[in-house]
Amino acid sequence: MRIRERSHRILRPLNLSVTENKATVEKYMEGFRNSDHELILSCLTDDVMWDIPGAFHIVGKDAFDREIENEAFVGRPAITVTRMTEEKDVVVAEGAVRVRRKGGDFVNLVFCDVFVMQRGKIRQLISYLVPIDGASSP
């Protein structure tokens, strides 16, 4: 006689609400998709820091504002977030971005953005960007 083993799983209710920090990051991404400076800046602390390792380190909303629409690119970027994770006051967003250079060709990147939050606003952002050749649009 065979004894049937039962698997026991604990089912937890889904938490369908979005945290304040994740909502801020979503709003920030939407601002970039629409080149909406006001929306993006509303998500930041006044002394925000933005680092792209190997590219730049900026401090403050004014400096951040100048980098929102980089002179090397035209149009609005297509941004796809594939995963967003939060622990305490850190939100990590992974995804892809496609943007047109002034010369007409497209740049395809994958990214991992690490957002350090303070009272529901972005205090620090570290953007890790990796170009991918021949990638399809996100």
pLDDT at position 79 is: 95
Reduce the DSSP state of residue 24 to 3 states and report it: helix
Residue corresponding to tokens 């205090």: 123
Kindly list the domain boundaries of the chain, sorted by start residue. Answer: 20-131
Residue 21: the pLDDT is 97
Would you say 82 and 93 are in contact if contact means Cβ atoms under 8 Å apart? no
- 47: its two tokens: 């002394």
Whole-model pTM: value is: 0.82
Q: What is the C-alpha to C-alpha distance for residues 117 and 89, in angstroms, rounded to an integer?
A: 5
Question: Mean pLDDT, consecutive 10-residue segments, the chain of 138 residues?
Answer: 46 65 97 94 98 95 89 88 96 95 91 98 97 62
Please report the pLDDT score of residue 135 as a whole number: 45
| Domain made up of 20-131: CATH architecture | Roll (3.10)
Q: What is the pLDDT of residue 1?
A: 46
